Chains A and B, each alone.
Chain A
Amino acid sequence: MHQYIVMRTGYLILTLFIASVFTFCVVNAIPGEPAEVLAKHLFLGLEESAPPELIAEVSARYDLNKPLIEQYSEWIRGILSGNLGNSIIYNKSVGKLLELYLPPTILLTSFAMTFAIITGIALGIASALHQNKTADHLIRFITIFSISMPSFWVAVMLILIFSLWLNLTPVAGYGEPKYIILPLIALGLHSMASIARIMRTSMLDTMEKPFIIFSKAKGLSRKKILFSHAFKNAFLPVLTVIGMSFGSLLAGSVIIETIFTWPGIGALLMKAISARDLVVIESTIMVIVFMFLIVNFVIDILYHVIDPRITYE
């Protein structure tokens, strides 16, 4: 087990390295000269055209004319020494920016994930237990709908219904608890639906297993069969889906935070991309990748805790 954790940590570092190379390349491959976009953002406004002297000056000041490999190694060296770099447009260190923007994102994603897991599991089990009855059809309709609709559309619809028509929640913002309701639903709905669907399938599959029939023959109550035997066995595939949907949840947070003006790293990333604040883009993506890897690392350990057959030798 300890050996496994060491090995996994090695893989984690390797994945982070590959992700950093990839991120760096993609960020620099975005069409439009970074220096030009930056110059407009900093001094002119996006509709103006930047004079060549200004572009050259911006380029020189922020080391944008250095070879890419040098820019990359400088960035990585900074990260290794604990310095994530400096934002050009915010005039702050990226570390300072994350200190401000990361907590709201962690708050939102953990609430959205909790919502997705609890409702997903509950709906999945309810659906399986009422297989092919009205409740099942209704739940399957809801989940198919939630999976198919893009989250930005869901977000806008939620605002329209709950904020504008029913006047129950604020449109957007951050601060009091009521502000989190709509963003967490908009963000978690897709994951909730994937979890519910896999929970249903897995539960139905498990209920047919010989050990469930034997549990019945043993005279166990239905409640006991469901919760002591069926649920635990049916949960393993759900755990995999939870890990994967955490990825799409983080990706979704970029759009959802922008729509609801939620001051998280998703919104930060969005702004940084439009201003070509390169270091902020790169470092923020690395933080997101890191969060995803850590969650999946924890899930791999959980597998072992739940299923004794899985050993990490």
Chain B
Amino acid sequence: MNTVLEVMDLNVTFPTRAGAIRASQQVSFRMQKGEISVLIGETGSGKSVIGLAVLHLLPEAAIISGKINYNGREILSMSEKEFSRFRGRDISLVPQNPSGSLDPLMRCGKQISESLEIRGISNLKQSTEVENILSNLQFSDPKLTAASFPHELSGGMRQRVTTGIALASEPKLLVSDEPTKGLDYSSRKTSMKMFLHLKHIRKDTHLLITHDLDLARMIGDTIHVLYSGEIIESGPVDEIFSDPHHPYTEGLIAALPRNGMKAMPGMCPGLIDLPSGCYFYSRCPYQCEQGKTIHPAIIPVNGRRSVRCHRFSR
């Protein structure tokens, strides 16, 4: 198979006055061509940091180690100048905060055209191409949307416009950072429908970063659950949802509205003072003896899955 992205032992730390924030620790995963991988986790679990690291968009203060291979080339250690050739050509981003990510003074169509221009599409073809893209994104009147300024659109429409900008560059790897965050019920549904439609027509290699379990289940192929900056469980989406191994994943699924909205007790630990044992120990319903003092390693289970839990080490 064709590996597009391989992240190996990625560590991201932000030095602050209060201490080092370990936003991402020993994160490793790989993505095959055409695969939709989902990084799922709550706010502060370090999922966005991974996406930004792939795009070299982390703030300069961040201390980064590990390796990221994109189509066999190590990109993490590349200089800004070297890497800038990949952005918007090979790898593109659907940003978090679509409202702030659009230039308020430029018409949406023009903002999409900018991505087309990078691909070398002539001015003449740009407007038809923009309309094509917009009609694929569930816009009923692409011409009107293209001529609108961002403030004239709803939050959900802006989200789909930013997706359009990312897709206009025909990326070989699409990174979307919490695309359904902050959307109301119906906009979220439209966005989900759009992503499902895109999955069927385009087969993008897509790294989806989200806390939206429904979206993950609807379009994802593989899922990586993050907790306190670490991947604690990985595996195919349907298997994880039908048979979660890690107690945190179990808790997440049980907390879904249709499963009775059973909230997990406790809070995730702060990223500055992490406990020496298992990060989930204080909230764990099993509370095994090793978890108190020993930090669990990630353990492969049945070939395609892996989990960071002492109960699976034998």
Contact = CB atoms under 8 A, between A and B. Distances in A.
Given A233-B105, A306-B105, A309-B104, A218 B149 contact: no
Given A217-B55, A218-B118, A229 B106 contact: yes
Interface in B106-126: 106, 114-115, 118
Contacts of B135: none
Interface string A300-313: 00000011110000
A245 B308 CA distance: 64
B165 to A, nearest CB: 6
Contacts of A219: 84, 87-89, 92, 115, 118, 169
A106 interface: no
Nearest to A215: B103
Which of A209, A219, A307, A308 counts the most chain B CB atoms within 10 A? A219
Nearest to A308: B149
Contacts of A232: 105
Nearest to A209: B100
Given A218-B115, A219-B115, A232-B105, A308 B151 contact: yes
A213 B118 CA distance: 17
Contacts of A209: 100
A236 B102 CA distance: 17
Contacts of B93: 214, 217-218
A233 B104 contact: yes
Interface in A196-251: 209-211, 213-220, 224, 228-229, 232-233
Contacts, number: 71
A12 to B, nearest CB: 28
Nearest to B88: A219
B88 A220 contact: yes
B287 interface: no
Nearest to A210: B100
A216 B101 contact: no
Contacts of A211: 100-104
B290 to A, nearest CB: 42
B162 interface: yes
Contacts of A224: 114
A9 to B, nearest CB: 27
Contact of A218 (B87, B100, B104, B151): B87
A217 B95 contact: yes
Interface in B39-58: 55, 57
Nearest to A213: B57
Nearest to A219: B88
B97 interface: yes
Contact of A228 (B57, B89, B106, B162): B106
Interface string B138-171: 0000000000010100000000001001100100
Contact of B149 (A214, A217, A228, A309): A309
B114 A220 contact: yes
A308 B87 contact: no
Contacts of A216: 57, 87
A288 to B, nearest CB: 33
Contact of A217 (B88, B104, B151): B88
Nearest 10 A/B pairs, CB to CB: A219-B88, A210-B100, A214-B101, A217-B93, A219-B87, A218-B88, A308-B149, A210-B101, A211-B103, A214-B95
Given A210-B101, A219-B115, 8 more contacts: A216-B87, A217-B57, A217-B87, A218-B115, A218-B118, A220-B118, A224-B114, A233-B105
Interface of A: 209-211, 213-220, 224, 228-229, 232-233, 306-309
7 contacts: A213-B101, A214-B101, A215-B114, A217-B87, A218-B118, A219-B87, A220-B88
